[in-house]
């Protein structure tokens, strides 16, 4: 038995989160793709069956009230809130990440243009967007810029402080880079944006459920995130939108649907936005996906996000150590920062034949994913990934690379 395998066994034996693995449906595969789709919590299938058979099948329309369907977007938002460092009443769940990015970004520009809404002295006609962003965020930012008459400027996150000016209305940034796993400095960047009189919109897709975010603590204005990665909500589960409490009365959504009306059943022709987080709603909630997500969040009961972060860093440290020990020198290159303060919960390895290598890894029971053009991406979900998984993944990777 290798020294690394022995260490993996000892680490798993001492892991305070190790018992959480039993809360998920898993098999012999080493699943390191939870940063794309989280594993299924074991109790969710029965809960969803109840929603379909009893709530929909028997209660039917009565379930909007009797089963709490109508209040699900805010209720589930309040369950997500502590995982991203928000007090209750500021998170609403519904729509996709893309739709929520659009709502947040347009609302941010509108707030910046209000009298006294931003620092005086500029026309507020520019949106900065993370130049390394997930493509959808860039597409949505481009559309928001056209709609609001703004210029869109792609800027690397580290360069944002120097790019800000009196013309900046809003800045859209990713907390964790989806390719490299780099964690960006949310507190410092948010402070810089505020110093320029602009509004910060953060995409938390690769950090929510993986590490402490501190939305309230750091004064973030608006944030969005998906729920099917580290939150394990299921394929296509609805995203969330955070609106800081002090901005809620000014949040002017570009999608004023009937579900965000102050009197949704009043059927009045004039729109009057609801108070608080519900004004981030749009249309009829996707109840089946919403309630599957609500059930999935039960796995977080009693789990501190700080313990999740500590294990995440330990897992990624150990993976990098195993890769260095097992993989032939020069065969892969880590593009994920070594510094803990700059690392999310994934490791990205550059490899010239990455697509073919990932295909062979999956065939051998190690599931990660490939990102164009040359990145092997491995996500580490501390709720169900163990140190033995990590050692095995590195060992299989070395075997695959040694073959060709």
Name the residues annotated as catalytic.
134, 203, 228-229, 377
The 10 Å Cβ neighbour count of residue 216 is 16
- Output the CA–CA distances (angstroms, integers) from residue 238 to 228, 286, 379, in the order listed: 8, 8, 21
Classify residue 176 by its DSSP letter.
Answer: B
Task: Find, among 112, 199, 202, 122, the residue nearest to 165 by Cα.
Answer: 122
Task: Sort residue 93 into left (φ over 0), alpha (ψ -120 to 50) or beta.
Answer: beta
Tokens representing residue 45 in the block: 């299938």
Tell me the residue ranges of DSSP E strands in 235-324: 240-243
Three-state SS at 248: helix
Segments in 62-123 forming alpha helices (H):
63-66, 72-80, 97-112
Element (H or E) spanning 222, and its range? strand 222-225
CB 153 within 8 A of CB 128: yes
């Amino acid at each position: 038995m290798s020294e690394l395998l022995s260490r993996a066994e000892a680490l798993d034996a001492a892991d305070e989160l190790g018992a959480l693995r039993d809360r998920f449906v898993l098999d012999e595969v080493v699943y390191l793709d939870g940063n794309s789709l989280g594993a299924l919590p074991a109790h969710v299938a029965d809960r969803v069956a109840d929603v379909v058979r009893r709530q929909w099948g028997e209660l039917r329309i009565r379930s909007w009230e009797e089963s709490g369907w109508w209040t699900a977007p805010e209720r589930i938002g309040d369950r997500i809130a502590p995982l991203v460092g928000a007090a209750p009443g500021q998170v609403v769940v519904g729509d996709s990440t893309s739709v929520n990015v659009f709502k947040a970004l347009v609302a941010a520009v509108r707030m910046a243009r209000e009298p006294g809404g931003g620092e005086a002295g500029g026309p507020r006609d520019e949106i900065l967007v993370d130049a390394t962003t997930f493509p959808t965020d860039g597409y949505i930012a481009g559309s928001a810029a056209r709609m609001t008459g703004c210029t869109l400027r792609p800027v690397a996150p580290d360069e944002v402080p120097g790019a800000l000016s009196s013309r900046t209305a809003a800045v859209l940034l990713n907390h964790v880079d989806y390719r490299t796993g780099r964690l960006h400095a949310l507190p410092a960047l948010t402070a810089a944006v505020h110093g320029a009189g602009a509004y910060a919109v953060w995409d938390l897709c690769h950090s929510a459920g993986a590490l402490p975010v501190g939305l309230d603590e750091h004064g973030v204005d608006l944030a969005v995130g998906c729920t099917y990665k580290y939150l394990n909500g299921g394929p296509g589960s609805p995203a969330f939108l955070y609106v800081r409490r002090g901005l809620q009365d000014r949040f002017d959504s570009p999608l004023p649907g009937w579900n965000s009306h102050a009197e949704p059943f009043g059927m009045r022709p004039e729109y009057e936005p609801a108070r608080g987080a519900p004004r981030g709603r749009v249309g009829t909630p996707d109840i089946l996906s919403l309630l599957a997500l609500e059930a999935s969040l039960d796995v977080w009961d009693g789990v501190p996000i700080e313990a999740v972060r500590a294990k995440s860093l330990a897992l990624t440290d150990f993976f990098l150590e195993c890769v260095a020990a097992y993989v032939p020198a020069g065969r892969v290159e880590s593009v994920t920062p070594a510094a803990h303060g700059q690392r999310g919960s994934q490791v990205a390895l550059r490899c010239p034949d990455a697509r073919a290598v990932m295909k062979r890894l999956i065939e051998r029971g190690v599931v990660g994913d490939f990102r164009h053009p040359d990145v092997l991406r491995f996500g580490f979900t501390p709720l169900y990934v163990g140190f033995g998984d990590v050692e095995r993944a590195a060992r299989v990777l070395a075997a695959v690379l040694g073959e060709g």
